[in-house]
Amino acid sequence: MDPQKQTGRSKQELILKANYPHPLIAREGWPYLLAMVLISLMVQKIFGFYGALPAWLVTLFVLQFFRDPPRQVPTGERLILSPADGRIVAIAPVLDPWQNRPSVKISVFMNVFNVHSNRSPVNGCVREIHYHPGAFINADLDKASEANERNALVIDTPHGSLTSVQVAGLIARRILCYVSPEAQLRAGQRYGFIRFGSRVDVYVPPETRIHVALGDVVKATTTALAEWQ
């Protein structure tokens, strides 16, 4: 094998490992997946394969819900990447409640069939983290941004600051965040997870150039939501 090609592949593998230190199935899903496999096997032993088919279908659903594939990080230091898979449900001028300044809110709604890992939209330092308990109304509704349980990260970058907010949904009952203030994040780095349907709101400065429109389907890390001016 050509040594240059081998070296290039090794570097690429190291980059993927650095950006994705978790298996293809999210670690948060293993207890649910193992439980469903055991339940399905027990039901199959009693009622046979066809009798256990509903249980196996639920197992497949759990497997697809907790999938967590690696993502290629696009080049461009000024890009603000999507922190989640899903659909754009809001692009609106608002007041960022955590930085108390005019902003544009870009909301990504995740249904139960989307990948639910949350990834950093930028390279930056976590200045503050704010957790707020709340309700669990449908995350597709705009009022979920203010009513639901949520966890906000204020991230400082060389180009400015933004706020990325994990918002629980109708079925989601657990927001998981694995970073703390002063943590250094890389764009595309996995920093949290929300179980079973939710949304992520990104508050950017008004002068930011928006790259998406209402209804667009976006992918975490690979889709640029906006760009610093």
Positions marked active-site:
198
The token duo for 68 is 């967590």
Q: Are 169 and 144 in contact (CB under 8 A)?
A: yes
Chain Cα centroid distance, residue 27: 14
The token duo for 75 is 């080049």
Integer distance in angstroms from the first to the last C-alpha of the chain?
A: 44
The two beta strands, 198-204 and 160-168, are antiparallel
Q: Are 8 and 42 in contact (CB under 8 A)?
A: no
CA distance 144 to 110: 13
CA distance 221 to 119: 7
Amino acid at site 54: P
User: In the chain, which ranges are E strands?
Assistant: 79-81, 86-96, 101-110, 117-119, 124-132, 150-157, 160-168, 175-177, 184-185, 190-194, 198-204, 209-210, 217-218, 224-227
CA distance 158 to 135: 35
